[in-house]
Amino acid sequence: MGAFDGRTYDVAIMGGGPAGATLAARLARETALSVAVFEAEFFPRDHIGESFVHSVIPVLQESGALPKVLASDCWVKKFGGYYAWSDRPWPTYFEHAAWRKDGHLRWSIHCNRPEFDQILLEHARSSGAEVFEGTPVTAVRRAGGVTRIELGDAGETSARIFVNCSGRTGSSTIVGNKPFLSQYRNIAIWNHVVGAKPPQSVPGDWNLFSEKNLSPIGCFIFEDGWFWYIPVPKIIQGRRVRTHSLGMVTDPSVLQQPGKRYTDPETFMRKAKSVRFLGELLKDAELVSDKFLTATNYSRISERMCDFDAGEIRVGDAAYFVDPLFSSGVHFALQHASAAFILIRAALDRAVPQSLARDLWEDYDAILRTVAQGFALGIDQWYHEIAKDNPGSAYWGHRGGEQTFATREETFAGLVNGSVGGDMLQIMSKGTNAIDSLGEDGSLRRTMRRLADREPPADALVRLKPEVRIKESATIEAPPVHEGKPSPFLHGPYWEDPQARAGDVRRLFPGPIPCHRFYVPEGSNRNHVKFVEERHGGLGLAERLRDGRAAYGELKASLTKPQQHLLMHLMLSDMIDVVPAAALAA
């Protein structure tokens, strides 16, 4: 008999990294559910991803872990980043546009990942979750409304809901595979250096961070890829030392070329010191070790993000990972964990109708897929901009001309929702914040043209298909302001003290939000178009569309922006009949 035989949990989480630990802590602190975390390794352990974007701060605050993180010495406050791919690096603060309006700097952290991850896992344990390190999940199967979980020599356990937080390479699953995103492959190679200058010290009138000594991440393009440069407080020979994480992202095939075996310390440092701007920071730097860490082929996306009937949710890299260029990995992991908390609580609450809980799970799958594809479009366009400024680079020429995803309805949906913008647009547009300033041949611009081509002629009549219905439902997506409280990203004073000002802002996912959904009774359960009436005016739009006498151009001009977005979603979901003017005349 194994140690776990006969035990059944409400929720079993595979993986104790930031996603799994954060979800476990929330469940243990805020519900009466039994929660177990099965982690294959023993913490602390090294991990890629030492610099985060600001969205992690509200999640850590909501989980109760933020005070423990801030009380440690493992982090440095981070205010944004700069990206050097041409003669002038391009910087951004977090929520750059909001900072211009209210003057409040949003912030995140750079951290020593082994310590950070251990703090979160210990927080989950102290919150009441059962945490088992050195206990890999070897197989899972669904039977009789529970998931049977094999734990190798430790035996077998079961759970009502299984959450896959196993990272980019985890394979134990019920609901499908996780294929690569694209044809090209990447390898990340990294180490740490001492004796280097902080990234904010690079001279230049472009450097937003230098005057007040604010710490950013630095990213530096070269002909075979790019380098990251991150301040990290590590413990070396028993004492705390400010190091800098220095990592290269390139194509594995590059390492076979003469003079480019970048896993060799001398070759790696010689190349890093030759890169413009980065070389200035590394003038007196030395590696702390000859041992390099690597990660390969990490850009993947799941075929399903969750499945209500299978009782599985995928979170973080187990759901998808697109690209490291914008330090987004932990951001997505913690955002997914916050959303998954709502899914689990709804699924296991007998007071919540099963149909409504199923809608929430379908929301999670659709939202994650749309965000991943919209984010990938932005990265693809960014690569295109880099390639334009580096015409002699085979690496950037290849990546700048390839689209990660084939354009599908989810891609268009992401554009309608405006998922490409904010600080990413600030950087890749070189400060103009105008999509029209980007290269026309980039993936984002091409897809936007294809989306525009999907619109009907102005004189065509548009009407809701007769089989389309509207039902009351709920969604996990929260509006910018909910119950009188703004999102923490909009509210500058929150960032003065996220713990003390937590009551000023709404939670990232405040719970199921009442909404309506357009749907077809006999259609796919995944083909819904949701709206919150107070924000979108969907009921009024439906009334006008059922009338059947609206010319598209005239109708669109009379709608609010949210109603225009809703109309476009209805067309993309094949819920609208379009009657050309010529057919009417005939």
Distance CA 174, CA 413 (A): 27
Give the separation between CA 247 and CA 240, rounded to whole angstroms. 21
* Domains 8-74+112-179+299-348 and 187-296 belong to one CATH topology: no
How many whole angstroms from its chain centre is CA 304? 16
Residue whose C-alpha is closest to residue 455's, from 286, 319, 573, 572: 572
What's the confidence (pLDDT) of residue 408? 56
CATH class for domain 8-74+112-179+299-348?
alpha beta
CA distance 262 to 246: 12
Partner residues linked to 109 by β-bridges: 77
Choices 3.30.9.100, 3.30.1330.120, 3.40.1530.20, 3.40.47.10: CATH for 187-296 = 3.30.9.100
SS3 content of the chain, % helix, strand, coil (to 5): 35, 25, 40
Per-residue pLDDT, 293? 92
Residue 445 phi/psi, 5-degree rounding, is -65, -40
Euclidean distance between CA atoms 135 and 236, whole angstroms: 29
Measure the CA–CA gap between 119 and 148, rounded to whole angstroms.
Answer: 29
| Encoded tokens for 566 | 């809703």
pTM above 0.85, yes or no: yes
Ramachandran region of residue 104, left (φ > 0), alpha (ψ -120 to 50) or beta?
A: beta
The pLDDT value given to residue 172: 64
CA distance 223 to 434: 27
Instruction: Check residue 440 and report its DSSP letter.
Output: T
Q: Using DSSP bridges, classify how beta strands 461-464 and 469-475 pair: parallel, antiparallel or unpaired.
A: unpaired
Across the 586 residues of the chain, what is the mean pLDDT of every consecutive 10-residue run?
A: 72 97 98 97 92 97 98 97 94 95 98 97 98 95 93 93 88 70 78 97 96 97 96 94 96 93 96 97 96 83 91 94 87 97 97 95 92 86 91 88 64 59 84 87 86 90 95 94 94 97 96 95 80 94 88 95 93 92 63
Task: Tell me the domain boundaries of the chain.
Answer: 8-74+112-179+299-348, 187-296, 370-453, 461-476+512-585
Rounded to 5°, the CA angle 559-370-375 comes to 105
Contact in structure between 29 and 64 (CB atoms under 8 Å): yes
CB 55 within 8 A of CB 335: yes
Residue 487: the pLDDT is 96
At 203, is the secondary structure helix, strand, or coil? coil
* Range 480-508 burial, b when 16+ CB lie within 10 A, else e: eebeebbbbbbbbebbeebeebeeebbbb
Pair 319, 339: CB distance under 8 Å: no
Collect all residues with Cβ–Cβ distance below 8 Å to 317 and sequence separation of at least 6.
Answer: 19, 167, 168, 298, 329, 332, 333
CA distances from 478 to 342, 396, 481, 541 (A): 12, 38, 8, 21
Q: What is the CA radius of gyration of the chain?
A: 25
At residue 393, the pLDDT reads 93
CA distance 87 to 101: 29
The answer to whether 335 and 37 are in contact (CB under 8 A) is no
What is the structure's pLDDT at 176?
72
